[in-house]
Structure 1
Amino acid sequence: MASLLDLWRAVLPAARPVGSGAAFDAAGAEARAAGREVGWVRVLQARVPAFVALDPQDLAILPEPALAALTAAGAIDPPTLVEAIAAAGAAAVVLLGDEPLRGPLALAAERAERLSLPALFMAASDGVLLERAVIGFLLDARGELERQAGRLEAELERLALADAGLEAQAAEVASFLGAGVAIEGPGGEPLAVHAAPARTETRSDAARYLAHPERVSLRVRLADLGSLAILGDGPPSELQRVVTARVAGLLALSIGRERASRAGPAGRVRAEALPAGGPPWVVLMARQLLPGLEASGAEREAARERLRRLAPARRLLLRGDISSLEYRLALAPEARDPFGLTVGARMATLLERAVAVSRPFADPGQRALAEAEARATLETFEALGRPPQVARADRLPAYRLLGNLHNLPAGRRQAEELLAPLLTGRPSAQARRLDTLRAVLDAPDLVQAAARLGVHRNTLTYRLSRIEAQTGWQLDEPDLKFLLGLSLRLMHGAQTMAAEEPPPR
């Protein structure tokens, strides 16, 4: 007999808990699963009786095709079925189907939540294969872990033979383990970072890794060519340990192969991974996966298709896939726009989020460094809380300087004194004045400032005249504009820090 948590981690790592609230998030679901024992497994059949037997501590697997067929025939009602499973003392139910949950599966999930019966959802349809894996684990845990690792190893071999690259292999490992994964180079630089598509919490793990690469759940050396990192705060599962040890050699060969494939005679690097229109090239980067703004796979693919049309194919190459953390474009910029800022601006408008542009580079071997430079620029720029626009890597020191303004002694107090004429009246009126001033100071002209605010230019002009009348300021004075912009950033930095402070206990 095994705990539901051990079974989940070993055989169902890509499954996600079903339900809402603290009891059904990743941590709450794992806590509940740790206290449940699984004695056997039963699979719903598309006939009557639907289960041959159902005993206490059984794991009930409900494949969507069988559940839909029984429901359509009037043989069962999904909520009533789940009630019977719970009454029998089952350990949990596993729902197999396609995203999003709908129809009979959604009804079953809703009733399981009401009954506080643990429910997991997995994007799969073959209940028989899953049944065999569960039985294998219950009878021979270590042997089943090795079989699971062998399945992943075979899939990675297939991808390697198809020359799919490290991005595809990282995505496969992440999807298989239900965890964020990073394949790193010999210096610790990320070569490919992926979250698990079905586990939204792994996106936060991946974002945290990019900011603090030393914080991982498990890191395994890939010979002297790099490392494989399993992302997260908790200890690694036994499946993760077995899998990483099993596939480490194959991934090391893939890193070496990718490095060799870029090298021509005498070790010279070829440029197959970059647009033919270069050199030079630049890297453009924006967030693809944003916490709280979950887009479906179809929506992300549609956005990627629009990005591909930002420039001709000989000048633009879109890297990664829909499960990558970022949109990453390699661009051969035109001579009149050597930084690719025009394409970057169109990308920011299309995605409605900030875009970072690396400095131009001519050596194909510097692509990974350009991506790291763009990523650092993006993270620093996003922390400033500025509206979506293009951030340039050659201005990274300036962004970092702005981000550290809150460390100025008495900086916030002096900023509030300067902005005091605007900080009167209702909070909504104060916020509108500050937003208006910030938009005017950040935008190159009133037309773009009005567009950012979503108002007509005449409305913006009227608001500015009211601010000047109320404060006595002349907003065309360069020194005053600089000081007002500095004060707004000081206040924003202080507010951000206050919001991130943990509540008092």
Structure 2
Amino acid sequence: MPARVTVREVWRLALPLEARLLAGRASLDREVSWACTMRPVPPAFPRLEGQELALINIEDLHHLDDLTLAQVIRSLHAANISAVVVIGPVEPEAVPIAEELAMPLFSLPAEAIASAIERDVIRLIVDREGALERYRSEIAHRLAEVLVANRGWRSLAEELAHATRKTVIIQDAMLRVLGQAAGPGPLLPLRAEDVEGLREPVVRPTGEGGVARLIYPIYVDDRTAGYLSLLGISGFDVTHRIVAREGALLCALELAKEQAIGGAEAQRRSEFLADLLRGDDLDMDLLARRARALHYDPTPPQGVLVVGVALGGDLDSDHLARQVQDELAQRRVAGLVAVRTAAAAPVTVLFPLPGEGPARAGRRFARDLIEAVSARFPQVALVGGLSRPLYELSRAKKAVEEAEQAWSLGRRLIAGCGSLLVDARELGVYQLLLPLEGSSTLRAFYEETLGALEEYDRRHGTELVRTLEVYFHQLGNLSRAAEVMYLHRNTLIYRLERIASILGIDLDDPETRLCLQLALKIRQIL
């Protein structure tokens, strides 16, 4: 038994693209058993058995004595007609009548040919599967034309919206919108909870006034690369699924192409940056030409950022670099990203800075970049180290070392507080201490200065080292330090006296205070 054909399918598969639905949207799922065209002489429709689609040419209607389109629609409704297609201008009075009768009413331009439309509708009814395959092929061809012409994601979304008469949203695996086109449904991008565990196409309510969403995952190399959504108030039939399926396939091709191009480009950028960071006998003119060939402006100033995970974290360096590169692309910043597997902070980024206020602009950009990339890896804490603005590419290696110093300090300071960016301009005395990291000299100085106090804290469960740290951080202001530690002022004074006694020092002596503050800094990097 052949599958039933609905008014909706006739609209999608047999009527010309110019067909406009004027009334009766709620009855689009009625079955259509045949098609018939009105004659210009009585009887206008000689044999009606019910469930037909009636074609009416307005010029032919004028040959019938004093009949209006509204009257014809009422008569066809009484004969159990499924839908009416009008060729030519539709009189305004007919639309509310059709809506009242829940009769799907379509309009077509006057140049449409009724006999051709009747033939296409009947062919659909007789060979529905063949019609669906022809429709699929036509949709695939139209979408492929968009891709071949490199018209972009927005044009692809618009073509899908035109084919489905739905709102269309294309998103990548991170749910960022690649392209969208408004239709009858609202522009509601997918959220993380909408696609959790999603592997197959699915229709889900949006919770917005009866709007439903058809979601098709987009796969590239057996992994989810994105999602295609159709949104609308009315349901989704086989034609919508055909368009969505073909659209998802074309989206996969486009994403794969972008990844291949982006991967090759990223490799060339990484190689350039690696050569730049070698820092030995550099031909700066050659490097500048290579940079411009990569669409990177080597004109100073530049910023250098290194990125890695906090202590105890673990993350694939290449994956992290790809996410950083993707964030740069989203911001339309032509930064260079390289992975240095031997470095503690494995991802290095070189990016252009504005001529005015480069230090402030670089910090703002690096902070936003770290925050955005961190959002992609909620399970680990990322640390970024930022160099001072770089005014000579030949000093890029030195700038990286400076950024790594900032990163090394940030990795120790993060202490579970989320991701962090440390600017080299904030290093202060750490610029002197970090090159000595791990040396016996630093360890000996610390042990000689604060070792006894730390041992006392360990044995007695006290917080005298922290008390000293807060005291200096508050510039020796007893009231503020007591407030920060939730202590009575007299309790703080007692603790400071105890510290002086344990260490055998005078806290009022300037050189002693300097040594203590330096030891507290060293404690951060031991």
Question: Considering the TM-score relative to the shorter chain, is it more than 0.5?
Answer: no
- Using the size of structure 2 for normalisation, the TM-score is 0.40
Tell me which structure has the larger Cα radius of gyration: 2
